[in-house]
Amino acid sequence: MDLPVIDLSPCLSGEWDPHLCAEVSRTLRETGALLVKDPRCTVQDNDRFIDMMERYFSQPHHFKLLHERPHLHYQVGVTPERVEVPRSLVDEEMQKNLKAMPKENQPHTPIGPDLKWRYFWRIGPRPSNTRFQELNAEPVIPEGFPEWKETMDSWGYKMIAAIEVVAEMAAIGFGLPKDAFTSLMKLGPHLLAPTGSDLQKYGQEGTVFAGYHYDLNFLTIHGRSRFPGLNIWLRNGQKVEVKVPIGCLLIQTGKQIEWLTGGDCIAGMHEVVATKRTIDAINLAQEQNRSLWRVSSTLFAHIASDAVLKPLGHFAELPLAGKFPPMCAGEYVEQELAVINLKGKK
């Protein structure tokens, strides 16, 4: 299945086509994923960011561990490989559902914590007063990367700007006020969160870098990776290997939008594995003497930590709305972090 590509240019010029907005909300509802083109987010921007992150992830193990902050739930700085536990390993209900899937749609089975590294970098201002200080901590800047802050902020702010347009289009398409989502995103703990997977060390077909899971935030946005490997699941249970066209960004639904729509739009499931296409890309990179670190150019857009998650507007009348009682967004995030081993580990 080819996901539609939504060009955000008309909205940036003040033209909010209701049919295009309806297409955004419909696609998010039916597939949990969307491809967009934003002229503010260029291929050169993405390449500059990935170049820097390839250089960082290729640094010695002991150097990267200097940027680890486990006492802050790994919500800033680096998360080493084999720390984050894929939900499919610890969620019994999810495991039961996976066994009932047709074999061709089943995800790969991880054998332990994820093999990917990740770096969390805050994007945007933080609240001066919050109950959730650990989710709103100061950033960590590695030594020897003078361009770090400017590169991270530049790419992160551009991607969050794209998310905000999509959030407004989705709100219109869902029949909500245009700012229904973006008003809740203000001062949210948005995270630029690139992952690094060592394909020289773990470059065998079938290797699981990120086990089957959903994202706990509102919407996730990715720039194009230099190595394939992302599989997503549509709402009908079909497994799809994602191919992001050059110049496009991939957006995926997280758990917070599921909450806000009373289950009308559900969090998209996905995994990252080494596929045949990944192996082909590894071989080509070796021929061209390029880095063998697979960097995902990822940003997690969140609802503000102290805002309340609950079904909005007409979504409160849906049959499943009762499964989404009012809850502080930060409280929900902390509960989720505990499940995947990113909270409380010292």
User: One digit per residue, pLDDT tens: the chain, 346 residues?
Assistant: 578 899 999 999 999 999 999 999 999 999 999 999 999 999 999 999 999 999 999 999 999 999 999 888 888 999 999 998 888 888 888 888 888 899 999 999 888 899 999 999 999 988 888 888 766 677 899 999 999 999 999 999 999 999 999 999 999 999 999 999 999 999 999 999 999 999 999 999 999 999 998 999 999 999 999 999 999 998 888 999 988 999 999 999 999 999 999 999 999 999 999 999 999 999 999 999 999 999 999 999 999 999 999 999 999 999 999 999 999 999 999 888 887 665 444 2
pLDDT at residue 136, as a whole number = 62
Distances (CA, A) of 274 to 194, 210, 221, 242, 281: 17, 10, 21, 13, 10
User: Tokens representing 240?
Assistant: 């799809």
β partners of residue 195 = 118, 296
Nearest CA-CA partner of 234 in 267, 201, 259 = 267
Determine the pLDDT at residue 344: 41
Strand 5-7 relative to strand 33-37: parallel, antiparallel, unpaired?
Answer: parallel
Torsion of CA 320, 325, 329, 332, to 10 degrees: -90
Tracing tokens 């639904």 back to the chain, one arrives at 253
Element (H, E) at 46: helix 43-57
DSSP 136-200: GPPP---TT-TTHHHHHHHHHHHHHHHHHHHHHHHHHHTTS-TTTTHHHHTT---EE--EEEETT
Nearest to 167 by CA among 31, 240, 45, 260: 260
Return the structure tokens found at 37. Answer: 């083109």
C-beta of residue 306 within 8 angstroms of C-beta of residue 132: yes
CB atoms within 10 A of CB 280: 12
- Would you state the structure tokens that stand for residue 100, as one six-digit string? 């009932």
pTM: 0.93
| Cα–Cα distance, 100 to 78 (Å, whole number) | 36
Question: And the tokens for 155?
Answer: 């790419």
Q: Please, is 159 exposed, middle or buried when counting C-beta atoms within 10 Å of its C-beta (0-12, 13-18, 19+)?
A: buried
Yes or no: say if 230 and 242 are a contact pair by the CB < 8 Å rule.
yes
**pLDDT at residue 134, as a whole number:** 61
DSSP assignment letter at 101: S
Helix (H) or strand (E) segment spanning residue 12? helix 9-12
Cα–Cα distance for residue pair 23/125, rounded to 1 Å: 31
Residue 99 neighbours by CB under 8 Å, 6+ apart:
none
> DSSP labels for 98-134?
HHTS-GGGPPP--SSS-S-EEEEEE-S---SS-S-GG
